[in-house]
Amino acid sequence: MNFKTLIFLILTFSVIFVGSISITPPDYATHIYKQTLDAQVGGNIHANPLIENYLEKNSLDTAFDFNLEKGSQVYRLGNGKGKKILICGGIHGDEVQGPLTVVSILYYLKSHGNKGTIYIIPFAIPIDTEKNTRYYNQSGDVYDPNRKADIPGTPVNKILKFAVSHKINYLIDVHSGIGVKEEGMVYYGNSFEENWAKNIQNSTGCAIKTNPANGTLRSEASKRNINAITLEVEKINQGVDVPVQTELNILKRACAYLKITYYKF
Ligand SMILES: [Zn+2]
């Protein structure tokens, strides 16, 4: 073997070796921890046919059974270090596209890995998902839970407290609504959130809107120095499957902007 051939072989194997390191994502599946977040909002999410049909059809209840009768669960991906992100779905129990999108990103991150630490609450209020209702019934007091995030003891206030105590830097609250354009929508408040929303808009064509509303998880988080956006897709006119794909694409873009995923979209 002459010198040139030796150099050629060394270079070739170096490229293959380095390449194989950089394209193999770490296996983060073993780093998913879960804990009960709120024992008072437990319910059987499988009793909601829109949820159950989608989970079954897409084999999304195999790795996680989402047995939430004893309370809502928060899943942690990562070791608690780095940037901290909270992704939340199901604050409004009748907006099934939201939790199904969050379940989908949970599976996506499980197989693709992530940087930093991502906390995921797929079903914020399981009892409301079970009943397919927007309104939470707290001992006879029936109210929109996403208008009382600032009131201690309410389900969304517990999520807000979790975010503050876990030093969350970025929060993404995932909903669906009526009259939302086909490409979806992102709500923002401050200038960081606006740039975040504009970046998502550039790649997805979604609408963006600022609409500070006291008592929403997004606005209350933002007041506490947690940059927060809310995602919306159409919940009635486009069924479930298409809006979930639209919202998942928006959510992946939102994560890519924070540089917490290994792949560009
Ligand atoms: Zn909502």
Q: CATH number of the domain that 211 lies in? A: 3.40.630.10
Residue 230 CA to ligand 1 centre (angstroms): 9
> Which residues fall within 8 angstroms of residue 205, CB to CB, at 6 or more apart?
183
Is the pLDDT reported for residue 161 higher than 60?
Answer: yes
Distance from Cα 124 to the centre of ligand 1, integer Å? 12
Environment of ion ligand 1 (residues, CB < 5 A)? 92, 95, 175
Residue 47 lies in a domain: yes
Ligand 1 centroid, distance to 91 Cα (angstroms): 7
Residue 262 confidence (pLDDT): 76
Write down the pLDDT at residue 74: 97
Token couple for 30: 């073993």
Whether 12 is covered by a domain: the verdict is: no
CA of 146 to the centre of ligand 1 (A): 7
Residue 13 has pLDDT above 80, yes or no: no
Q: Which two tokens stand for residue 167?
A: 């030093």
Residue 21's pLDDT is what?
A: 44
> Residue 22 pLDDT > 50, yes or no?
no
- Residue 50 belongs to some domain of the structure: yes
20 part of a folded domain = no
Please tell me the distance between residue 97's alpha carbon and the centre of ligand 1 in angstroms.
10
Find the 126 Cα to ligand 1 centroid distance in Å.
14
120 domain residue, yes or no = yes
| Centroid of ligand 1 to alpha carbon of 174 (angstroms) | 8
Mean pLDDT over 169-192 rounds to 97
176 C-alpha to ligand 1 centroid (Å):
6
* Total of domains in the chain: 1
- What is the per-residue pLDDT for 25? 47
Instruction: Identify the burial level of 250 via C-beta atoms within 10 angstroms of its C-beta, where 0-12 means exposed, 13-18 middle and 19 or more buried.
Output: buried
Residue 222 CA to residue 74 CA, distance in Å, equals 21
In a domain? residue 6? no
How far is residue 250's CA from residue 61's CA, in Å, rounded to a whole number?
Answer: 22
Is 200 part of any domain? yes
Does the residue 16 lie in any domain? no
Q: Which residue segment(s) compose the domain that 195 sits in?
A: 26-257
pTM to 2 decimal places: 0.89
Residue 259: how many other CB atoms lie within 10 Å: 11
Cα–ligand 1 centroid distance for 263 (angstroms): 29
Identify the pLDDT of residue 14.
61
Please state, in angstroms and rounded to a whole number, the distance separating the CA atoms of residues 265 and 260.
12
Max CA pair span of the chain: 86
Residue located via tokens 């979209």: 265
- Tell me the three state secondary structure of residue 88: strand
Residue 36 has pLDDT above 80, yes or no: yes
Interatomic CA distance for residues 191 and 205, integer angstroms: 20
Check whether 178 has a pLDDT greater than 80: yes
Q: What is the pLDDT of residues 47-80, one digit of tens each?
A: 999 999 999 999 998 888 899 999 999 999 998 8
**What are 101-146's pLDDT values in tens digits?**
999 999 999 988 888 999 999 999 999 999 999 999 999 999 999 9
- Residue partners of 160: CB distance under 8 A and separation at least 6: 149, 150, 217, 220, 221, 224
| pLDDT reading at 29 higher than 80 | no
Whole-number Å distance, alpha carbon 244 to ligand 1 midpoint, is 14
The pair phi, psi for residue 106, each rounded to 5°, is: -60, -45
